[in-house]
Amino acid sequence: MRRNKHRSNRDLSSSLSSGRMPKKRIGVLTGGGDCPGLNAAIRAVTKTAILHYGMEVLGIKDGYLGLIENRYTTLSYEDVSGILTEGGTLLGSSNKANPFGYPSPSGKLRDLSGAVLENVKMMELDGLVCIGGDGTLTVAYKLYKKGLRLVGIPKTIDNDLGATDVTIGFDSAVITATEAIDKLHTTAQSHHRVMVIEVMGRYAGWLGLYAGMAGGGDIIIIPEIPYDIDKVCKRVTERHKSGKRFSIVVISEGARPKGGNMVVKKIVKDSAEPVRLGGIGNKIASDIENLTGLETRVTVLGHLQRGGSPSPFDRMLATRLGTFACGLLARGKFGRMAALKGQDIRAVELKDAVRSIRRVSRSHPIIKSGLAVGTSFGI
């Protein structure tokens, strides 16, 4: 691990006298929940910085926790070779280390953003790449407003970041969830059961919608469309009476019944997102079984959706976003995020990316397609 090796005045004088400027140094971190494609993004940033711009790269350990505790390592070309296909993040991550609300031993939240800026100064960073979702990039925007030179790269399996069409990790998670639904289809048919599959998706149902449609879900329930349990049970009963003695129900963890609330599993007080969801799958399964008399089973995919090797699409997306973000830093275009717009990678303002969560509209074309082929959305 590299420890605060400052570029000395002698090095600066030598560089100036020879007509060369000191080599620029940038940092890269991954924050929030992990997902497939993070290592591909780190690789893209690092290799582009070294090969194309002649920069040094520091990898910040465990997201913002590394900036708070001044923990980092130098990343070489060799360090990031061979990690394109690996899941997770070689730098580590944290979804609790919010510099603007960091818990003290007594539990009181402290603002350590000033210490972060001091540590960045000690590292002599000319810029920082923050790879993360809504929480990570919201913190990044706040740090940018305090003077930190940075850019963002969007990642989240929820695919709910504004100002980009797709985020790193989403496609891989859809594949994982779809494969699980495919496997549960056969056992549902064999045992004539109702199978409930709970996927991630706190406030946005993109993962449930895409995986549910791709996996042939009979009923798809997402946070944006509160469900009517009577309508759900009616659909299950109709299928059973018509000779289709099984049903597949795909439900997002943040879904809720009409007039009801999300099911909260627990509260983690020292987390930037203290509410931990979990249990909606069991609730709806119990309701279906009690109201229809049909045997119902639940599978909660949980963190399985975050793991594994990134899909080819995520590898390519992470590479394109990473190289583009490095270019933004090199040109001094701070306070921006690399985003996919159609087929193009473009720079968008960080404030636009985190202004609001991108949710599924009831008029979305995929919802319309689902309704056209007989998919129920619990309404």
Q: Cite the active site residues.
A: 158
3-state secondary structure of 259: coil
DSSP per-residue string spanning 137-185? HHHHHHHHHTT--EEEEEB-TT--BTT-S--BTHHHHHHHHHHHHHHHH
What type of residue sits at position 209?
A: L
- How far apart are the C-alpha atoms of 277 and 273, rounded to whole Å? 11
Residue with tokens 């759900």, as numbered in its chain: 232
Residue with tokens 């993070």, as numbered in its chain: 38
63 Ramachandran zone, left/alpha/beta (phi>0; psi -120 to 50) = left
User: Minimal CA–CA distance to 24: which of 52, 2, 44?
Assistant: 52
User: Minimal CA–CA distance to 152: which of 163, 166, 141?
Assistant: 141
**What's the chain's Rg over C-alpha atoms?**
23
Provide the angle, in degrees to the nearest 10, between the axes of the packed helices 229-241 and 280-292. 60
User: Is beta strand 219-221 parallel, antiparallel or unpaired with respect to 247-252?
Assistant: parallel
Residues ≥6 apart with Cβ < 8 Å to 129: 26, 27, 28, 29, 45, 150, 151, 152, 153, 322, 325, 326, 329
3-state secondary structure of 349: strand
